[in-house]
Amino acid sequence: MIAVGERAPEFDLEIVGGGRIQLRDALTHGPLVLFFYPKDATPGCTAEVCSFRDAHQDFIDAGAQVVGVSSDSVVSHGRFATQHALPYPLASDPGGKVRAAYGVPKTLGLLPGRVTFVIDRDGIVRSVFNSQFGADKHVPVALEALRALV
Angle (CA) 116 96 64, round 5° = 30
Task: Give start and end residues of each alpha helix (H) in 1-150.
Answer: 23-26, 43-54, 56-61, 74-83, 97-101, 138-149
**Do the beta carbons of residue 73 and residue 13 sit within 8 Å?**
no
The dihedral built from the CA positions of residue 95, 132, 130 and 35, taken in this order, carries a sign that is positive
- Neighbouring-strand partners of residue 15: 91
Q: Say whether 45 is catalytic.
A: yes
Which residue among 8, 15, 16, 45 is the active-site one? 45
How many Å from the N-terminal Cα to the C-terminal Cα in the chain? 25
Which amino acid would we find at residue 117? F
Residues carrying an active site annotation: 45
